[in-house]
Amino acid sequence: MSIDLIKSIYYEILSYFIPQKIKYKVEGSCNKCGNCCRQIRAYGLKTENEFKFMQLIFPWYKRFFITGKDENNDFVLSCKYLTKDGICSVYTRRPFVCRNYPAKIIHFNAEMPNNCGYKIMKKEFKDYL
């Protein structure tokens, strides 16, 4: 088991139980482009075995499939329930991670998908002074 996979599992568990201290202000609204469901960055997941392991631990991962890799060689996932129009076909039964998007408290790279209606307002160090 790789260190990146262990970190992914650790961060996934933290997202359910431990409030994080890094907060990003999120502005905007959903424009129903569906890119949040087509361009899911799976930070730390580098092999198919690691992805399958995450599907065993977190069953909601089974709704995703691998579409490629990003510049860090991490998987990019897409949801199998997304329609061609960018709408969730199981909206009322979507998992917490989808209902909570975009999270207001995160502990990894804060980025929104291309053409997303939401924007991350990152704070610089001087903003805290």
Reported as a single tens digit per residue, the pLDDT across 19-52 is: 545 566 788 898 888 988 998 888 788 889 989 9
Q: Which structural domain, as residue segments, surrounds residue 78?
A: 3-21+32-103
- Enter the pTM of the model: 0.70
123 falls within a domain: no
Count of H helices and E strands in the chain?
Answer: 4, 5
Side-chain-facing half-sphere of 111: CA atoms under 13 Å? 10
Ramachandran bin of 73, using left for φ above 0, alpha for ψ from -120 to 50, beta for the remaining angles:
left
Residue 113 domain-assigned (yes or no): no
Domains: count for the chain: 1
pLDDT confidence tier of residue 67, bands split at 50, 70 and 90: very high
Determine the straight-line distance between the first and last CA of the chain, rounded to whole angstroms. 41
